Amino acid sequence: MPGAFSPPWALVVWCFLCGTLAHAQTIDRPDPASMAARVQACVACHGAQGRATREGYFPRIAGKPALYQYHQLLHFRDGRRRYGAMSELLQHLTDDYLREIAGHFAALDLPHPPTPSITLTPAQRERGEQLVRVGDAARGIPACASCHGQALVGIAPALPGLLGLPRDYLNAQLGAWRVGTRRAFEPDCMARIAKALDEEDISAVSGWLANQPMPASTLPEPALTQALPMDCGGVPAAEARR
């Protein structure tokens, strides 16, 4: 008797429709929670909302300039930076998708955790501050502040700030540039700078930076107002040289 089959068929058709509708809905109206779902894997390491802490190793990503962050995601995906867990996560993601994720974290303006207290010798404090504020002309090292901003909070869209990062992370980045396991787009100014620093310089400058309290505004400066002292790949050239 055909009637006996109608309830299950109706159910099948209903379920098919309901599946289609649900599907159509996710395409027509993006779920506002989809970005939260997309970045769930990220916050496991970078902290809720990408905040991280100033201790440990994981760098904070909340509030970093968008183009800088996008470049880093490309670097990890394409092998110019190495961290297995991140490279794997990003391997199959498209440029557009990475740009959106970078924009999401860049737009977060969240309070910073307290500054850790790191013991430095007076010589380390002096050398660290000298590198940051003045550089070392004899060794071809411009002041870090001439590119990372006078307040060291970075300059949009491609220059990151240097405050609020763990010392171990800073040491590792400068070390990685020296040995070539971290690379930026050519010309890679940071590779030249890191190679001109010796190990004591790296320890002094990373300790000095990690010890600085956060300024009242931690948002990157809106734009470069003067030329950079060296060419840096990935930093929009026209704006940098105007």
Binding site for ligand HEC (CB under 6 A): 39, 41-42, 44-46, 57-59, 61, 64, 68-69, 71-73, 81, 83, 85-86, 89, 101, 131, 141-142, 144, 146-148, 159-160, 162, 165, 170, 172-173, 184, 189-190, 193, 205, 228-230, 232, 234-235
Closer CB to ligand HEC, 101 or 153, in the complex? 101
Radius of gyration of the chain (CA): 23
Helix axes 167-179, 189-196, angle to 10 degrees: 100
Pairing of strands 154-155, 141-142: unpaired
In whole angstroms, give the CA distance from residue 86 to residue 81.
Answer: 10
Closer CB to ligand HEC, 156 or 193, in the complex? 193
Contact (CB, 8 A) for 215 and 153: yes
CB atoms < 10 A from the CB of 118, how many?
A: 14
CB of 2 to ligand HEC, least distance (A): 53
CB of 72 to ligand HEC, least distance (A): 4
Among residues 115, 112, 125, which one has the least CA distance to residue 62? 112
CB of 61 to ligand HEC, least distance (A): 5
Closer CB to ligand HEC, 19 or 140, in the complex? 140
CB of 101 to ligand HEC, least distance (A): 5
Closer CB to ligand HEC, 31 or 198, in the complex? 198
Contact (CB, 8 A) for 170 and 163: no
Closer CB to ligand HEC, 4 or 185, in the complex? 185
Provide CB contacts within 8 A for 137, sequence distance 6+.
Answer: none
CB of 242 to ligand HEC, least distance (A): 16
